[in-house]
């Protein structure tokens, strides 16, 4: 039943990935590409829970990790900005995950990865806009900033990266994202014209330098040499972008339940436990200490930067360290494999989805409200005061709940510099002279449509609110009304509620 189609299977694999990251403290690391996973039907390896997915594919944890890295040497492709002829693009709402970063944790008794966080267009990976981006950031004093953001550096600027610092790779990833969406939205659809007003652009970020800098790099690719005086950058205090609606006791209880499930899953994985013991011995530290250092975070950074895995620094090595004193790709593969198993089990348990609905609602609600205002305003042509482009520069723990709440778990865990876009479209007017009689309530909604794209892939018809829409019907796009009623009511079905207030304050078993 679970694997009733390959698509479902793919969905499930991805969902687990999506779920893996609710706590910034823990993992940060799971990529997947549903299409590739579908092809990679290696026979299943040992599963922690034999009841689940006994004949599910075993994705190759190493190959999947390459996708997570999101190497910026590939051309960016995507279906953003594509629509039937004559449809008009009214607004776009994008959430990005920050780009490649230095680890948040270091592995005890090892050297940190040697990565230079000073930007230089002479170093790879580079980008044609990198040099002008660097000089443009020097003028950031002309922009408007929430006061809490003023002290953050506008660029990575350390010859040895600091913990969590955005790398040059991360900057380039977002220059590319911005440039790609400039082609899709500005060149093709004039979403923002050269004289865009300050109200038309909404930019918000969490208070970390890596999200702030990622947002600025994206923006520079999107609007090269933008006029600082028209830009306001706002801070969101929560990684959930929940603004003034963050209070939600039930959400925290779902998260705690999920964390307990995860803990049980992890400690039941004997291969994983054995691997930690081996790694700890290799480095000469206590197993507990090693586990607490979340070694996979640092190993991912070595992996994505093509650096060899770290060796014990207590060795009195001159040059070549003893192989036996080094961490190995096999260790890394076991941890990654366990993370995937955990994702599968997480999807099956369903607790994360309940958490995700409550975590994602405030952001989705704000997006829905903006879209509705713009859609109504388009009848009376008041475009200049509305935020037709909104950017939220965020974390994996921001984006994963959004994907889960939308029913897009199969889209995969957010890789570095992942992007999620909501587009609002208006279909051609049928007849203009009946406009007066069209004014009745609800009429404005009839020719409004939404598209949802993740890393350039159009997933609109896989969302929970448009899965049942027949795309060969008279309406080739998904009606905005589906999204509005999903956000305002239907999304709470899975927590047996009809509103955010009710869902947040009810008892969780």
**Could you say which of 14, 57, 215, 362 contacts ligand NAG (CB under 6 A)?**
362
* Contact between residue 352 and residue 258 where contact means Cβ atoms under 8 Å apart: yes
Distances in Å between the alpha carbon of 285 and those of 279, 298, 312, 330? Answer: 9, 16, 10, 19
Distant-in-sequence, close-in-space partners of 442: CB < 8 Å, separation ≥ 6:
none
Please say whether the beta carbons of 403 and 34 come within 8 A.
no
Q: How many CB atoms lie within 10 A of CB 235?
A: 16
Tell me the C-alpha distance between 262 and 344, whole Å. 11
Site for ligand NAG in 155-184 (CB under 6 A): 155, 157
Q: Is 73 in the site for ligand NAG (CB under 6 A)?
A: yes
Residue placing its CB nearer to ligand NAG in the complex, 65 or 341: 65
Under rule CB under 6 A, which residues in 490-509 are in contact with ligand NAG?
A: 495-496, 500
For the CB of residue 210, give the shortest distance to ligand NAG in the complex, in Å.
Answer: 15
Strand 201-205 to strand 389-394: parallel, antiparallel, or no bridges (unpaired)? parallel
Active site residues: 98, 396
Comparing CB distances to ligand NAG, the nearer of 189 and 336 is 336
363 in contact with ligand NAG (CB under 6 A)? no
- Determine the Cα–Cα distance for residues 169 and 71; give it in Å rounded to an integer: 8
Which tokens in the block code for residue 19?
């779920």
Q: Which of 140, 245, 278, 379 binds ligand NAG (CB under 6 A)?
A: 245
Q: Of 213 and 312, which CB lies nearer to ligand NAG in the complex structure? A: 213
Cβ 329 to ligand NAG, closest distance in Å?
14
What does the alpha-carbon distance between residue 453 and residue 112 come to, in Å, rounded to a whole number? Answer: 36
- Torsion sign across C-alpha atoms 338, 396, 69, 452: positive
Quickly list DSSP for 39-89: H--PPP---SSTTS-TT-----HHHHHHHHHT-TTSPP---TT--STT-EE
Q: Which two tokens stand for residue 353?
A: 């989805």
End-to-end CA distance of the chain: 27
Please state the closest distance from residue 306 (CB atom) to ligand NAG, in A: 5
Q: Is 151 among the residues that bind ligand NAG (CB under 6 A)?
A: no
> C-beta of 74: minimal distance to ligand NAG in Å?
6
Q: Shortest gap between Cβ of 305 and ligand NAG (angstroms)? A: 8
Map tokens 């970063």 to a residue.
101
Query: Binders of ligand NAG among 291-310, rule CB under 6 A?
Result: 306
**Pairing of the two strands 419-426 and 448-454:** antiparallel
Number of residues that bind ligand NAG (CB under 6 A): 15
* 354 near ligand NAG (CB under 6 A): yes
Q: How far is the CB of 155 from ligand NAG (least distance, A)?
A: 5
Interface residue with ligand NAG among 26, 71, 105, 461 (CB under 6 A) is 71
Q: Are 174 and 223 in contact (CB under 8 A)?
A: no
Q: By C-beta, is 85 or 138 nearer to ligand NAG?
A: 138
Q: Under DSSP, is residue 436 helix (H, G, I), strand (E, B) or coil?
A: helix
Please identify, among the stretches 162-170, 325-333, 361-369, 398-406, the one whose residues bind ligand NAG according to the rule CB under 6 A.
Answer: 361-369
Nearer to ligand NAG, 51 or 138 (CB): 138
For ligand NAG, give the closer residue by CB, 121 or 273.
121
Residue 66 C-beta: closest distance to ligand NAG, Å: 7
Residues engaged in binding ligand NAG (CB under 6 A): 71, 73-74, 138, 155, 157, 245, 306, 354, 362, 365, 369, 495-496, 500
């Amino acid at each position: 039943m679970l694997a009733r189609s390959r698509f479902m299977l793919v969905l499930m694999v991805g969902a687990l990935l999506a779920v893996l990251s609710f706590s910034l403290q823990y993992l940060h690391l799971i990529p997947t590409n549903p299409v590739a996973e579908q092809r990679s039907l290696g026979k299943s390896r040992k599963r922690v829970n034999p009841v689940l997915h006994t004949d599910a594919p075993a994705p190759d944890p190493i190959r999947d990790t390459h996708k997570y890295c999101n190497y910026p040497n590939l051309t960016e492709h995507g279906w953003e900005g594509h629509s039937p002829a004559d449809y008009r693009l009214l607004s776009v709402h994008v959430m990005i995950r920050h780009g490649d970063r230095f680890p948040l944790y270091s592995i005890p008794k090892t050297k940190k990865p040697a990565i230079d966080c000073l930007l230089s267009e002479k170093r790879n990976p580079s980008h044609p806009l990198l040099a002008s981006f660097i000089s443009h950031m020097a003028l950031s004093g002309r922009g408007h900033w929430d006061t809490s953001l003023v002290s953050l550096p506008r660029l990575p600027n350390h010859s040895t990266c600091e913990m969590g610092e955005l790398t040059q790779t991360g900057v380039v990833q977002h220059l590319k994202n911005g440039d790609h969406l400039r082609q899709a939205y500005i060149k093709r659809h004039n979403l923002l014209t050269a004289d865009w007003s300050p109200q038309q652009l909404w930019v918000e970020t969490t208070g970390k330098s890596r999200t702030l800098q990622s947002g600025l790099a994206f923006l520079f690719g999107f609007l090269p040499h933008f006029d600082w005086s028209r830009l306001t950058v706002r801070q969101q205090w929560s990684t959930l972008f929940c603004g003034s609606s963050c209070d939600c006791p039930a959400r925290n209880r779902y998260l705690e339940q999920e964390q307990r499930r995860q803990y049980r899953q992890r400690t039941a994985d004997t291969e994983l436990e054995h691997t930690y013991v081996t790694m700890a011995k290799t480095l000469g530290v206590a197993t507990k200490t090693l586990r607490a250092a979340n070694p996979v975070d640092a190993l991912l950074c070595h992996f994505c930067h093509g650096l060899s895995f770290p060796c014990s620094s207590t060795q009195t090595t001159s040059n070549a360290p003893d192989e036996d004193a080094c961490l190995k790709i096999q260790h890394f593969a076991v941890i990654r494999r366990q993370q995937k198993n955990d994702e599968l089990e997480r999807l099956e348990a369903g607790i994360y989805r309940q958490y995700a609905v409550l975590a994602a609602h405030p952001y989705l609600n704000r997006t829905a409200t903006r879209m509705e205002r713009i859609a109504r305003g388009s009848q009376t042509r008041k475009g200049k005061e509305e935020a037709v482009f909104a950017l939220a520069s965020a974390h994996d723990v921001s984006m994963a709940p959004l994907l889960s709440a939308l029913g897009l778990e199969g889209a995969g865990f957010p890789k570095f510099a992942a992007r999620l876009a909501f587009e609002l479209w208006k279909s051609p007017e049928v007849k203009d002279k009946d406009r007066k009689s069209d004014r009745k309530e609800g009429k404005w909604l009839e020719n409004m449509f939404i598209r949802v794209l993740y890393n350039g892939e159009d997933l609109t018809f896989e969302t929970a609110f448009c899965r049942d829409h027949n795309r060969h019907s008279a309406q080739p796009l998904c009606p905005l009304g589906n999204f509005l009623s999903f956000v305002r009511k239907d999304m709470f079905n899975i927590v047996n509620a009809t509103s955010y207030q009710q869902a947040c304050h009810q008892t969780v078993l």
